[in-house]
């Protein structure tokens, strides 16, 4: 870990814009949506890394040192970030958790005491995360309040439309069961009535044992499960093996995707699930 000694409080950018650093691209999109021209946004992860096991680089410490707001998911997902915050020497950094104040957090087993962090995949919970950011933007940049509030209102309407469109797409499906590779989609499933019957990886980054795989093969055959998801960031050998063994369909879904914006990315994911389950 590189130590950056003597960092002064983050100066404003040359354009006077508020510097926001986020952990994942989805949060960066939200920050740009509500912040407009008053913010300058950077994301630490570019999209191809696991947000559970990311390894911080010296350049990331510099990015954190220069930021005014750090917008992360929270719920312990970004534990790798804590040393970077400390080493940045940025004593005025405002850390905003998207998950702060969300009460209906899904909890898993003993490995998941803080709750499942993938709240951003539910567009309704997304609104709460965005509200957390807007509160901090307004506090640090009160002159921008009317702009932030107006942009937030516009974006929340888009999220309402997104929720309605996804719900409509799933409405006609008779079989809404699927297996996901890692436990990224429980909030999405809860919101839209999908049934995640199993998860391949018991803990993010940990491959299942041979015994667990055999149990999955059994489950797929016995219950006639038709869809299993995988992710571009994860090894695809296991889902492909399961597909060969059982003829389950493999659908590539990226929970981190923000290409073209969060709304477009979640629309594509929902369409991929719909196509596979139809």
Does residue 196 belong to the site contacting Zn ion (CB under 5 A)?
A: no
Of 39-47, 78-86, 179-187, 242-250, which part binds Zn ion (CB under 5 A)?
A: 179-187
Our CB check for Zn ion shows the closer of 246 and 258 to be 258
Residue the block writes with tokens 């019957």 = 197
What are the angstrom distances between the C-alpha of 245 and each of 53, 150, 179, 239?
A: 30, 52, 15, 10
What are the angstrom distances between the C-alpha of 153 and each of 35, 96, 125, 238?
A: 12, 20, 15, 43
Compute the least distance from the CB of residue 35 to Zn ion, in Å: 25
Residues 27/125, Cβ–Cβ less than 8 Å: no
Of 82-90, 94-102, 133-141, 181-189, which part binds Zn ion (CB under 5 A)?
A: 181-189
Does residue 189 belong to the site contacting Zn ion (CB under 5 A)?
A: no
- Torsion angle of C-alpha atoms 182, 188, 194, 196, degrees rounded to 10: 20
Of 66-74, 101-109, 156-164, 182-190, which part binds Zn ion (CB under 5 A)?
A: 182-190
Our CB check for Zn ion shows the closer of 119 and 184 to be 184
Pairing of strands 18-22, 69-72: parallel
Residue the block writes with tokens 């073209």 = 260
Does residue 234 belong to the site contacting Zn ion (CB under 5 A)?
A: no
For Zn ion, how many residues bind (rule: CB under 5 A)?
1
Compute the least distance from the CB of residue 204 to Zn ion, in Å: 5
Does residue 73 belong to the site contacting Zn ion (CB under 5 A)?
A: no
Compute the least distance from the CB of residue 164 to Zn ion, in Å: 26
Our CB check for Zn ion shows the closer of 18 and 178 to be 178
Angle value at C-alpha 154, between 152 and 159, nearest 5 degrees: 90
Compute the least distance from the CB of residue 52 to Zn ion, in Å: 6
- Name the token pair of 131: 């509200």
Q: Which residue is nearest to Zn ion (CB)?
A: 184
Does residue 184 belong to the site contacting Zn ion (CB under 5 A)?
A: yes
How buried is residue 268: exposed, middle or buried, by Cβ count under 10 Å (0-12/13-18/19+)? middle
Residues in the site for Zn ion, rule: CB under 5 A?
A: 184
């Amino acid at each position: 870990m590189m130590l950056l000694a003597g960092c002064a409080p983050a100066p404003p950018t040359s354009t006077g814009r508020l510097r926001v650093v986020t952990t994942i691209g989805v949060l960066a999109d939200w920050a740009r949506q509500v912040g407009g021209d008053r913010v300058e946004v950077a994301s630490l992860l570019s999209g191809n890394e696991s947000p559970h096991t990311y390894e911080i680089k010296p350049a990331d410490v510099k990015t954190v040192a220069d930021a005014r707001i750090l917008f992360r998911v929270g719920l312990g997902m970004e534990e790798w970030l804590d040393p970077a915050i400390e080493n940045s020497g940025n004593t005025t950094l405002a850390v905003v958790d998207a998950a702060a104040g969300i009460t209906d957090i899904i909890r898993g087993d003993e490995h998941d005491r803080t709750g499942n962090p993938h709240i951003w995949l539910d567009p309704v919970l997304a609104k709460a995360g965005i509200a957390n950011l807007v509160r901090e933007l307004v506090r640090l940049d009160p002159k921008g309040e009317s702009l932030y509030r107006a942009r937030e209102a516009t974006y929340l309407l888009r999220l309402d439309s997104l929720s309605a469109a996804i719900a409509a797409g799933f409405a006609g499906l008779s079989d809404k069961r699927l297996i996901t590779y890692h436990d990224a989609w429980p909030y999405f499933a809860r919101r839209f009535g999908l049934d995640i019957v199993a998860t391949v990886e018991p803990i993010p980054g940990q491959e299942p044992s041979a015994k667990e795989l055999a149990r999955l093969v059994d489950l797929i055959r016995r219950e006639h499960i038709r869809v299993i998801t995988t992710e571009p960031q994860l090894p695809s050998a296991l889902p492909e093996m399961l597909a060969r063994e059982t003829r389950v369909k493999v659908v590539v879904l990226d929970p981190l995707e923000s290409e073209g914006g969060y709304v477009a990315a979640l629309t594509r994911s929902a369409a991929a699930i719909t196509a596979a389950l139809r």
